[in-house]
Chains A and B, each alone.
Chain A
């Protein structure tokens, strides 16, 4: 098959990181081939293309591999100047977006994972940290959306929308599995409106797996983690 202008994404439906790249490609309207990886039986291609981490996602463009979801998204934004700009043009605004992207990626993702995978005191501590960090994000969002969160569409979704969507898009299901409230419309009204708006974008709705599938995955991840920590 011709390599010229060929785009292939190695991912797995279970990975929010792979999901980020999938959304970025779809928002830009870029045709791509998708390879579902079994992380217990990684393809030789994946290992060859990402020897450092051996993880998904990996984007292969014209035979050239790129790893790390945030690097991939910036590459997509620079290479295909069609569709929405995933990062703003102005250097100062870009810096602001990169700061918050780093915050969501490093702080929120990690803390959320801890909440998912722990119980008892450890979980309580993680939940408090998560709620604190969500408050920080809520305040930070005042810079981007000082009045109301505008209507989010496939034409104006950017990297921050992609990151928050892949982490907390399914927050209602996460709350169900954990038995706690994560997104409170009273204490974090902006984040609540933001997630609600993002979840209504048809492209986002269509890309989400069936609720039962996501619910089963969340329960599975939690069960495995709790079993292995008590083993």
Chain B
């Protein structure tokens, strides 16, 4: 890269000088200004996870809201396997699956780390992230089912909360990440925010504060973190959408 300060500018014509300067600046700036795009939807917890990670690390990005009933050609091109959001596009290269995206963000922008540096502590964090990833799809069953199926979903959900309460959270630790949130806290966001909405839609209570006191404290703390608080979809808005969905799903099928 050219050293502008010590370059000999004498005798150089203006046009040539401008070109040299711009090329040099471009080389210096482009890794920082490399374009980051996020394809997501406003009410998806998976989409929010990526937004939080980008904001916690101070990474500027362009957000594109997808209409999942009318997926954009861009989404279909970037995620041909699953055709789902979120998709992160960095420098034209797509990355899919929210946990894969978060790991990529962590490895590409190391500031404000979201995973422990110690390999063992990191393995434990990854265990809980995997646990969250495996169990998260079960929790929305609450708003999608009724009767016996709902009872079963509630039971499963209660067991999940019990496991986190008993084995995941350490007494006295404010977050899974210690004093600051990390990727594990982010992974359990459905429990902190969306679960309450599912419960309201279904008319059932599973996350009772007296049954899961540590988890309850954690959820309040998590939602108070400024980046989370300022970037959490409105519960009433989510409620309206899911209530309609529930009605459609449970409507008696006509022959």
Contacts and interface: CB of A to CB of B under 8 A. Distances in A.
Q: Real complex partners, A and B?
A: yes
A140 B81 contact: yes
Contacts of A91: 104, 107-108
Contacts of B101: 95
Contacts of A71: 123, 126-127, 130
A92 B122 CA distance: 20
Contacts of B120: 61, 64, 66, 75
B131 interface: yes
B57 to A, nearest CB: 14
Contacts of A51: 167
Interface stretch (A37-45, A98-106, A154-162): A98-106
A52 to B, nearest CB: 5
B227 interface: no
Contacts of B99: 98, 102
User: Which has the most chain A C-beta neighbours within 10 Å: B81, B96, B167?
Assistant: B81
Contact of B95 (A61, A74, A95): A95
Contact of A136 (B81, B90, B104, B107): B81
Given A51-B167, A91-B108, A98 B127 contact: no
Contacts of A68: 126-127, 130
Given A51-B167, A99-B96, A102-B97, A67 B104 contact: no
Interface string B78-104: 000100000000100101110111011
Interface in A45-87: 51-52, 61, 64, 66-68, 70-72, 74-75, 78-79
Contacts, number: 60
Interface in B121-141: 122-124, 126-127, 130-131
A85 to B, nearest CB: 14
A29 B126 CA distance: 24
Contact of A72 (B95, B123, B163): B123
Given A95-B103, A136-B81, A78 B167 contact: no
B119 interface: yes
Contacts of B127: 52, 66-68, 71
Nearest to B131: A52
A66 B124 contact: yes
Contacts of A64: 120
A52 B163 contact: yes
A102 B81 contact: no
A70 B163 CA distance: 20
A8 to B, nearest CB: 15
A94 interface: yes
Contacts of A102: 97, 99-100
A4 to B, nearest CB: 14
A74 B126 contact: yes
Nearest to A101: B100
A99 B123 contact: no
Contacts of B95: 92, 95, 99
A71 B120 CA distance: 10
A98 B104 CA distance: 10
Contacts of B130: 68, 70-71
Interface of A: 51-52, 61, 64, 66-68, 70-72, 74-75, 78-79, 91-92, 94-95, 98-99, 102-103, 136, 140
In the A-B complex, the 9 residue pairs with the smallest Cβ-Cβ separation, listed nearest first, are A91-B107, A75-B123, A95-B104, A71-B126, A66-B123, A98-B100, A95-B95, A78-B119, A91-B108
25 contacts: A52-B131, A52-B167, A61-B120, A64-B120, A66-B123, A66-B124, A68-B126, A74-B123, A75-B119, A75-B120, A75-B122, A75-B123, A79-B119, A92-B90, A92-B93, A92-B95, A94-B103, A95-B100, A95-B101, A99-B97, A102-B97, A102-B99, A102-B100, A103-B81, A140-B81
Given A78-B119, A91-B104, 4 more contacts: A72-B123, A74-B123, A102-B97, A102-B99
